[in-house]
Structure 1
Amino acid sequence: MRTRRRFLQTCIALSGASLAGCSEDDESTTPTSTTTTAVSTTASTPETDTATPEPSESTATDEPTETTEPTETESIDPETLKETGRAFVNQLAAGEYAAIMDDYAFSEQFAAQVDAEQLESIWTTQTASLGQFVELAGAEYSRSDGYHVTVVLARFTGGRQAVRLVFDDTATIVGLFFPASGGSYSPPEYVNQSAFEEVDRTIAATETCSLPAKLTLPTGEESIPGVVLVHGSGPNDMDETLGPNKPFKDLAWGLASRGVAVLRYDKRTHACDVDRAALTLDEKVTDDALTALGVLREHPRIDPSRTVVVGHSIGAMTAPRIADRDGSVAGAVMLAGNARPLLDVIPEQQEYLFRLDGELSDEEATQLQAVEQTVERIRSLDISEDEIRFGLGGRPFWRTVQEYDQVATAKELDVPLAIFQGERDYQVTVENGYNQWQQALGDRENVTFRSYADLNHLFMPGEGQPSPAEYFQPNNVSRAVVEDVASWVRRVTGEDNQ
């Protein structure tokens, strides 16, 4: 019997495009991507493109959709997996979506979140501009972060589309990605590429791994303010790539076009070979952001006292902690930061996805109950050391997330804060984010609040009922958001008064 399922990209894990910005890997995405369109249950499944889920925390996307790390490799035949991939894509091209859901072995989390209708929506959206399907142009097999990855290339009359299938050691599908084809990203019209240059930097993350980074520097010789961008959930790349979209690249180029330097970097879970089940919140997010602030301040044109942290999704949730531990930032910008605990938000995200078709079936209700039971297990830390839940992390992550109170931490800060929210965001909603922040900090003169009626979790415009599918339609961060962030940074760093 086939169960009803819903697609969720960093969604259940909050994205990156999940709190992930829904990242392909909601951190849950490891070869996560960031150039990829992911049909994955967290933004943390192996990915190799330069673009994410999470997530989202995407591509970015994510951690594997399974609840445990892959076991030691059993006897897996690469040729068999390539043949499975070819058959899978042929069925996609033939429109056999229901048969796909019946014919293949999917991980429990994946199967709970993807149904034939959603699969059809993602495939047709992804290939709408490519014309008629012609043939398969090849299949490749590789290993990535302990997983088996098959990439199948489909040729259409108007172009090509890669399909990446991620398998565990039992040949169960734990991730499905649609890497964006080259050239699908277009810089927003508000960017002036002659107004800045980009230089490579590295961020020391562990004793054996450094994170690739870019400093986007406005042209000129004068002293300027600078910001560090902090990703949502999922193993995101420095652009926080999700499908064809690169929100952090939009922000970096847009802010630099307006006189603000920007440092962005690949997330540790994207760039490094790490045990994701063992990482704490600080090891995933805070520590590397603090190191990045130090690297930013090393540049001779950056005034160390005029630096700001800009966080998105889980990065926004963690921004008060980053500001508190750093002790020197001039302010913090929180883009779609949840005020309520993650474990309160996750079941609401899942229920929203289940109800996209206007109803909650008996099977979906049962699946939702299972999510709530898992949440209660996490609250009591009744999970094993190597057990990754919701694609975000294991016991150390969930323990440290529960120990951290972002609202209480923000209340203790004396630096200016900016809290921005898209009103079409179904992951971090006005109700579970923006309104709660206003209740907690609305009486502070140094806290700026701004909401945007037509923007989603990626701060990109859209219409109608929000869903994960729109994250994979080419778009850019709203000009209004870029201009508001730039003007706020210049104001709190004193540039507008100089």
Structure 2
Amino acid sequence: MKKNLLLILAVWIYSTISYAQEIDGIWHGNLNFNGQKLGLIFHLYKDENGKPSGKMDIPQQSVTDMPINLSLLTQDSISLHLPAIGMSYNGKLVQDKIKGLFKQNGVSIPMDLEQGEIDKPNRPQEPFPPFDYQTQEICFTNKNANAVFSGTLTYPKEYSKEKRIPVVLMITGSGPQDRNEEIFKHKPFLVIADYLAKNGIASLRYDDRGVSKSTGERSGCTSQDYADDADSGLQWLKDCGKFGKIGVLGHSEGGLIAFMLGAESKVDFIISMAGPGIKGDTLLAEQQNAALKLYGQPANRTVESVRAEVSMNPKDSWLNYFIDYDPTSTISQIKIPVMAINGSNDMQVISTSNLNAIKKELIKKNKKNVFKEYIGLNHLFQHCQINNSLDYYNIEETCSEEVLQDIVDWINKL
């Protein structure tokens, strides 16, 4: 949740870089540290006033367009310093490369920059048009929040209003995300929508509040506000009268929101992909300990330490709501069919504690309920080993074929 993955280095760089005509454009390099490789991309250009400017990307951490301020120029050298995080980089243009040294908190790492982008990662599951099904751009409104949502409605090839086929509203995980839930150059919701359409199931996915083509204010919002947004999407699907059963598919925080909607009987079925089943403060402590253990650090985070840390940022409405929210009572009210799934290598929503908590509340509520842990899958439902379970970017698979097929089979049997 909150995508607070353990960074290889604290490379959230609001940096200052030197600029020369010879080194403008796009440059990239790799930090190699303890067997891990972290790619950095610098976009160097002049703004509308002719002033040197730039941005930086860290694809493996899903960071894009981070502003950088350019200074300290020589004809063949660059130098950047960030005292706040103890970091500096000094490089010199040698033929077609900038050869330099990255330093942070006493650690020195050679890092050379080459011109051009890093090669795009391979994403074999990502579909491209022309599609073998119909898509329609739609909008719906949450009037209470003064927010208009832009989304994509996907119809199977065999769609007709008379068939009353099922439709699924997709709800993204935490943080501002677009309709494809794009993260680490993966587009999970696009892949899922494509698979559903090819198997006779319609879907609606939408840009989150204040993201891409959707409007609305995110400041001060909590999971309840985002549940209201999703409810507006459900109401649009009901009002359009084009489908039969209407369900929700939520990933991570989206799974939590799916439970909220299900408890209020606003949908016909729920699919929770790595949705939380335990209180937020406990989940965050488990999440942080899993990441620390993965990187060989003492797993010493407690609920108390998490809450103490959060208390230092009282203005974060989302986080304060999340740590106090216990989904148990909400889940216990659900009577509609639920498919709750997790991966055994999930380091963000730990499968054993969360899935068991969900199962405990729902095991006897509906005979169509399904609870399944997928061995060897991570938080994005990619196949992985424990040691690369957080390396979403370098894994080519976007979502396990087995998971996709299980979702389709379950919906079609309802």
TM-score in same-fold range (> 0.5)? yes
Aligned residue for 2:276, secondary structure, equals coil
* Alignment correspondent of 1:122: 38
1:302 aligns with 2:223: no
* Cα distance change, pair 167–260 in 1 and its aligned pair in 2 (3 A): same
Q: Distance in 2 between matches of 1:340 and 1:65?
A: 30
- Larger mean CA deviation between 343-352 and 224-233 belongs to 343-352
What per-residue deviation string (whole Å, max 9, x for no partner) do you get for residues 179-209 of structure 1?
98768544369x9975421110123246654
Letter in 2 for 1:217: Y
Residue 462 of structure 1 deviates from its aligned partner by: 1.9
* Alignment correspondent of 2:135: 198
Aligned residue for 2:168, secondary structure, equals strand
| Aligned residue runs from structure 1 range 58-69, under 5 A | none
Residue 439 of structure 1 deviates from its aligned partner by: 2.7
The one of 339, 343, 346 equivalent to 2:277 is 339
Aligned residue for 1:187, secondary structure, equals coil
**Residue pair 2:147, 2:217 contacting (<8 A) in 1 also:** no
* Alignment correspondent of 2:223: 281
**Residue pair 1:139, 1:152 contacting (<8 A) in 2 also:** no
Letter in 1 for 2:171: V
* Cα distance change, pair 384–426 in 1 and its aligned pair in 2 (3 A): closer
Q: Where is the helix percentage greater, Structure 1 or Structure 2?
A: 1
Aligned residue for 2:382, secondary structure, equals coil
Q: Distance in 2 between matches of 1:347 and 1:187?
A: 33
* Alignment correspondent of 2:345: 424
* Cα distance change, pair 138–357 in 1 and its aligned pair in 2 (3 A): same
* Alignment correspondent of 1:442: 363
What per-residue deviation string (whole Å, max 9, x for no partner) do you get for residues 367-397 of structure 1?
x58x95352364xx67443xxxxxxxx1x33
What per-residue deviation string (whole Å, max 9, x for no partner) do you get for residues 298-351 of structure 1?
444313xx10011110111221112233x3411111111121112112233223
* Alignment correspondent of 1:485: 407
Q: Distance in 2 between matches of 1:152 and 1:471?
A: 17
**Residue pair 1:309, 1:332 contacting (<8 A) in 2 also:** yes
**Residue pair 1:121, 1:469 contacting (<8 A) in 2 also:** no
Letter in 2 for 1:418: M
For structure 2, the residue ranges without an aligned partner over 5 or more in a row are 70-80, 86-116
The one of 446, 460, 465 equivalent to 2:382 is 460
Q: Distance in 1 between matches of 2:291 and 2:188?
A: 23
| Aligned residue runs from structure 1 range 302-381, under 5 A | 302-303=243-244, 306-325=245-264, 327-360=265-298, 373-376=305-308, 378=310
Aligned residue for 1:264, secondary structure, equals strand
For structure 1, the residue ranges without an aligned partner over 5 or more in a row are 1-12, 27-37, 42-63, 67-75, 98-115, 128-135, 143-148, 155-161, 174-178, 386-393, 493-498
With the length of structure 2 as denominator, give the TM-score of the two structures. 0.71
Q: Distance in 2 between matches of 1:355 and 1:374?
A: 16
What per-residue deviation string (whole Å, max 9, x for no partner) do you get for residues 445-497 of structure 1?
342112211211111222342432234432221121112112222222xxxxx
With the length of structure 1 as denominator, give the TM-score of the two structures. 0.60
Q: Distance in 1 between matches of 2:387 and 2:201?
A: 34
The higher radius of gyration belongs to: 2
- Aligned-CA RMSD value: 4.2
| Aligned residue runs from structure 1 range 225-236, under 5 A | 225-236=166-177
Q: Distance in 2 between matches of 1:375 and 1:298?
A: 42
The one of 207, 227, 238 equivalent to 1:266 is 207
**Residue pair 2:250, 2:273 contacting (<8 A) in 1 also:** yes
Q: Distance in 2 between matches of 1:319 and 1:82?
A: 48
Aligned residue for 2:149, secondary structure, equals strand
* Cα distance change, pair 321–192 in 1 and its aligned pair in 2 (3 A): same
Relative contact order: is structure 1 or structure 2 higher (C-alpha 8 Å, sep ≥ 6)? 1
* Identity %, equivalent residues: 21
* Alignment correspondent of 2:187: 246
* Cα distance change, pair 39–288 in 1 and its aligned pair in 2 (3 A): farther
1:473 aligns with 2:374: no
**Residue pair 2:380, 2:392 contacting (<8 A) in 1 also:** no
What per-residue deviation string (whole Å, max 9, x for no partner) do you get for residues 34-64 of structure 1?
xxxx9898xxxxxxxxxxxxxxxxxxxxxx9
Count of aligned residue pairs for this structure pair: 355
What per-residue deviation string (whole Å, max 9, x for no partner) do you get for residues 131-188 of structure 1?
xxxxx7744669xxxxxx943599xxxxxxx9743469x9878xxxxx9876854436
**Residue pair 1:82, 1:150 contacting (<8 A) in 2 also:** no
